[in-house]
Structure 1
């Protein structure tokens, strides 16, 4: 998602989902957001967590691919994929259903959009990483489309893509998850989610 598109998406969220929801801090359902560069394992972890939590799974790639397939826009599609995901997530959380988000969230404006949904969901953010650059490249180069008409980025595109370093004072807190081992990553993420739930219950 390009910087201009992310800012546009964030502006479209202004005025929505303001405080006053009927949900309290304790009974709000989880909103689990996966962020990170392409090829770092976001989709793998997001799908596993959605299964464990019995949560709705929203993937921005799938939304954008459908928009392109229907010839409603040409790539890059701009903010629309994120805006659609925000609105579906808000409506789903309002029903009390947990939601897991799978999106790159490369810039502060994209990350801010999810924080605006904290009035209806208990936000937990994970940033996926692969410390071994060679392994990251291998996974990107071996990746194949898993959606109809999906276009996956090359390693050159991933390496050149915009991704601003996370600043918790600006972007909010997040847990960094090393995706070198999928099973260890899933266990770590589930542990963090249990801690988050315990903190809310005791608070």
Structure 2
């Protein structure tokens, strides 16, 4: 099974995704970690662009092929990246669960972004303004949407786990 978390920074994706991966024993792929590793390698003339997603796509594919469950933690803001996850799941004969994490309380969301403590060496956390300006396309097919303004991370993991069995 491929479980892809999507949503803007500061909504709570990482907390839920990490807890879920631990609970179900899944491989955990975090785009921020992959992208920062690419930046740290200093091999690209430009910023990472799609490279982090492409690396994560292939890591997910290789893990699904050997029977691992995979949890992906990413913004996943555009139809192209969402389609790539669908294609990977289909090519591996795996089910796909798309999860969109939102925080409907704008003040709480802003507080989280502005008080965020980075946990990836070298990665500069986003500003509130950059979150507001982030491209994030509407979904064609509504995914499971979790609102962390009203749902705790623990409750979210319980809801997802029920869908994974």
**Counterparts of 1:109-148 in structure 2 under 5 Å?**
109-119=80-90, 120=92, 121-148=94-121
Unmatched segments (≥5 aa) in structure 1: 1-29, 195-203
- Residue among 6, 13, 17 paired with 1:42: 13
Q: Which residue does 1:189 correspond to in 2?
A: 160
State the TM-score, normalizing by the size of structure 1. 0.76
Regions of 4+ moved over 4 Å: none
Tell me, yes or no, if structure 1 residue 66 matches structure 2 residue 10. Answer: no
Aligned-pair Cα RMSD in Å? 1.3
Distance 1:73 1:151 in 2: 18
What count of residue pairs does the alignment treat as equivalent?
161
**Higher RCO structure (Cα 8 Å, ≥6 apart):** 2
Q: Do the aligned partners of 1:68 and 1:74 also contact (CA within 8 Å) in 2?
A: no
**Counterparts of 1:1-203 in structure 2 under 5 Å?**
30-73=1-44, 76-119=47-90, 120=92, 121-168=94-141, 173-180=142-149, 181-194=152-165
Larger radius of gyration: 1
Unmatched segments (≥5 aa) in structure 2: none
Q: Do the aligned partners of 1:129 and 1:179 also contact (CA within 8 Å) in 2?
A: yes
Distance apart, 1:192 and its partner CA: 2.6
Q: Do the aligned partners of 2:16 and 2:154 also contact (CA within 8 Å) in 1?
A: no
State the TM-score, normalizing by the size of structure 2. 0.93
Distance apart, 1:188 and its partner CA: 1.7
Distance apart, 1:177 and its partner CA: 0.9
Q: Deviations along 1:41-71, whole A, 9 cap, x unmatched?
A: 1111110110111010001110000011111
Q: What secondary structure sits across from 2:99 in the alignment?
A: strand
Q: What secondary structure sits across from 2:48 in the alignment?
A: coil
